[in-house]
Structure 1
Amino acid sequence: MTRTARPALGTFIFFAIAFALAIYFTFAAVQGDYGLFRRAEIDAEARDLAAQLAIVQADVAQMENLTKRLSDDYLDLDLLDEQARKMLGVLRSDEIVIR
């Protein structure tokens, strides 16, 4: 009698489960909440936010400069004259307006 060797069903199930788990963890490492693609998105968002922060910091520095120049401790007469003319719409008689 010849008996053909067949792989055991338990061995097949073990390797099928191991393969399924390997596929799942590989997918989670690439696509998951903490995966490679999410990391790339977070890095890109961080670069965008850093650029926005630089713009906002420049605006704040400019506003601080203008505020300082109009303060009581340091009065810039040219800036005061410019702001008063802008707000009141006043011109001197020897000025020409170009629009």
Structure 2
Amino acid sequence: MSRPPLAPVVYSSAMVLLAVYFMFAAVQGDYGLFRRAEVEAEERALQEQLATLEAEVAKMENLTHRLSDDYLDLDLLDERARDVLGYIRSDELIIR
């Protein structure tokens, strides 16, 4: 009785192990599917943060423009002076 050749068994086993390794790397590796999902979630969070910051910058630019020498909004100036300096007019009532 002769033994079957060992080379095809070793070759097949090596190919199966190599395929399993590449499948694992494709799913959980540094560039795998799970990492991609994490990066996309992080991207969405950063996009939301960027939109919030851009809205805040636009608001501040508007306020700055309204207080500039070229365009002075007296109501805004009055509001800011009251808020920052704590001023009130003599005919106003303060309700706490």
User: Does residue 68 of structure 2 align to residue 90 of structure 1?
Assistant: no
CA distance in structure 1 between the partners assigned to 2:17 and 2:74 by the alignment: 76
The whole-number CA distance in structure 2 between the counterparts of 1:16 and 1:25 is: 14
Q: Which has the larger radius of gyration?
A: 1
TM-align CA RMSD = 1.1
- Count of equivalent residues: 96
List runs of 5+ in structure 1 lacking aligned partners.
Answer: none
Distance of 1:67 and 1:7 partners within structure 2 = 86
Hey, which bits of structure 1, 4+ residues long, moved more than 3 A?
none
TM-score, normalised relative to structure 2? 0.94
* Corresponding position: 1:19 with 2:16: yes
Q: What SS does the corresponding residue of 2:53 show, helix, strand or coil?
A: helix
Q: Deviations over 1:28-83 (max 9, x none)?
A: 00001110001101111110000000000000000000000000000000000111
Identify which of 28, 32, 55 aligns with 1:35. Answer: 32
- 1:45 equivalent to 2:42? Answer yes
Give percent identity, aligned residues only.
Answer: 64
